[in-house]
Amino acid sequence: MFELLFLVPVIPFASFLWLATLGPRSSRRMVAVVGVGSIAACTVISLLITGSYLASPPAGGSYTQVLWTWIAVGRFTPQVAFYLDALSLIMMLVVSFVSFIIHLYSAEFMLEDEGYSRFFAYMNLFVASMITLVLANNLLLLYLGWEGVGLCSYLLIGFWYQDSANGAAAQKAFIVTRVGDTAFAIGLFLLFTHLGTLDIQELMHRAAQQWAVGSALAIAAAALLLGGAVGKSAQLPLQTWLPDAMAGPTPTSALIHAATMVTAGVYLIARTHVLFSLAPPAQFAVAIVGAATLLLAGCSALVQSDIKRVLAYSTISQIGYMFLALGVGAWSAAIFHLMTHAFFKALLFLVAGIVIQALHHEHDVFKMGGLRKDLPYAFWGFVIGGSALGGLPLITAGFYSKDLILWQAWSSAQGSEALWAAGIIGVLLTSLYIYRLIFLVFYGDKKMEVAHRPGWQIKVPVVVLSVLAIIGGFVNLPPGLGNVRAFTNLLSSALPAIAETRASAMSEGLSAGISAAAFAIGLLAAYVLFVRRRTVSQKLASTALGRALHRFWFADWGMDWLYDRAFVRPVIWFTNIDRKDFIDSFYSGLAHLSEFSWRALRTTENGRVRWYAAWITAGAVIFVALVLWT
Amino acid sequence: MNVIAFYIAAAIAIVTTLLVITRKNAVQALLYLALSLISVAVVFFDLGAPFVAALEVIIYAGSIIVLFIFVVMMLNLGKRATLAEGRLLQPRMWIGPTIFAAILIGEVAYLLARGNATAAAAHLVSPKEVGMALYGPYLIGVELSSFLLMSALVGAYHLGWHKQPKPETEDVGREYSTRIDAGRDTVRAGSSRPAGAP
Amino acid sequence: MLAGILFALGVAGLLVRRNLVFILMSIEIMLNAAGLAFVTAGARWAQADGQVMFIFILAMAASEVSVGLALVLQLYHQNRSLDADEASEMRG
Report CA dihedral (B102, B103, B104, B107) to the nearest 10 degrees.
Answer: 120
Q: Which residue has the higher pLDDT, A528 or B11?
A: B11
Query: Could you give the CA distance from residue B135 to residue B140 in angstroms, rounded to a whole number?
Result: 9
Q: Which of A117-126, A566-575, B50-59 has the lowest mean pLDDT?
A: A566-575
pLDDT band at A458 (very low <50, low <70, confident <90, very high): confident
Instruction: Say what the pLDDT of residue B167 is.
Output: 53
CA–CA separation, B9 vs B6, rounded Å?
5
Give the number of beta-carbon pairs within 8 Å between A and B: 16
pLDDT tens digits for range A379-401: 888 888 888 888 888 777 888 88
Answer whether the bond into residue A237 is a cis peptide, omega within 30°: yes
Residue-averaged pLDDT of chain A: 83
CA distances from B98 to A304, B92, C14, C84 (A): 94, 10, 11, 20
pLDDT score recorded for residue A168: 87
Q: What percent of chain B has pLDDT over 70?
A: 67
A580 DSSP β-pair partners: none
CB contact under 8 A, A625 and B104: no
* pLDDT at residue B191, rounded to an integer: 42
Question: What are the pLDDT digits (tens) for C10-64?
Answer: 877 777 777 778 888 888 888 888 888 888 888 777 777 888 888 888 889 888 8
Those chains having 3 or more beta-carbon pairs within 8 angstroms of chain A are B, C
Put simply, whether A614 touches B (Cβ < 8 Å) is: yes
Mean pLDDT, rounded, for A267-274? 88
What is the rounded average pLDDT of the residues A307-319? Answer: 89
Please indicate whether residue B121 or residue A314 has the higher confidence score (pLDDT).
A314
The nearest CA of chain A is from the CA of C20 a distance in Å of 10
pTM for the whole structure: 0.67
- pLDDT value for A40: 92
Q: Give the model confidence (pLDDT) of A13-72 as tens digits.
A: 999 999 988 888 888 888 888 889 999 999 999 999 888 888 887 777 778 888 888 888
Task: Identify the pLDDT of residue A537.
Answer: 66
A412 DSSP β-pair partners? A500
A605 touches chain C (CB under 8 A): yes
Collapsing DSSP states into helix, strand and coil, what is residue B72?
A: helix
How high is the pLDDT of residue A500?
65
Q: Is the pLDDT of residue A330 over 80?
A: yes
Contact A304, A245 (CB under 8 A): no
Chain A CB contacts of B111 under 8 Å are: 628
Among the partner residues B18, B97, B125, nearest to C46 by beta-carbon distance: B125
Q: What percent of chain A has pLDDT over 70?
A: 94
* Residue B160 sits at the chain A interface (C-beta within 8 Å): no
Q: Which pLDDT does position C90 carry in this prediction?
A: 65
C34 has a chain B CB within 8 A of its CB: no
Taking an 8 Å cut-off on Cβ atoms, the answer to whether B104 and A618 are in contact is no
Which chain C residues are closer than 8 Å to B40 by Cβ?
Answer: 6, 32, 36
- Give the confidence band of B71 by pLDDT, cuts at 50, 70, 90: confident
Write down the pLDDT at residue A186: 93
Q: What is the crossing angle of helices A86-109 and A264-271, to 10°?
A: 170
Task: Output the furthest CA–CA distance in chain B (Å, rounded).
Answer: 83
Q: What 3-state class would DSSP assign to A485?
A: strand
SS (H, E, C) A290-342: HHHHHHHHHHHHHCCCEHHHHHHHHHHHHHHHHHHHHHCCCHHHHHHHHHHHH
Residue A360 falls in which region: left (phi positive, over 0), alpha (psi -120 to 50) or beta: left
Chains interfacing with B (3 or more CB pairs < 8 Å):
A, C
Q: Is A80 helix (H, G, I), strand (E, B) or coil?
A: strand
Q: Hey, which residues 68-107 in chain B have their CB within 8 Å of chain A?
A: 96-97, 100, 103-104, 107
Please tell me the predicted confidence (pLDDT) of residue B83: 64
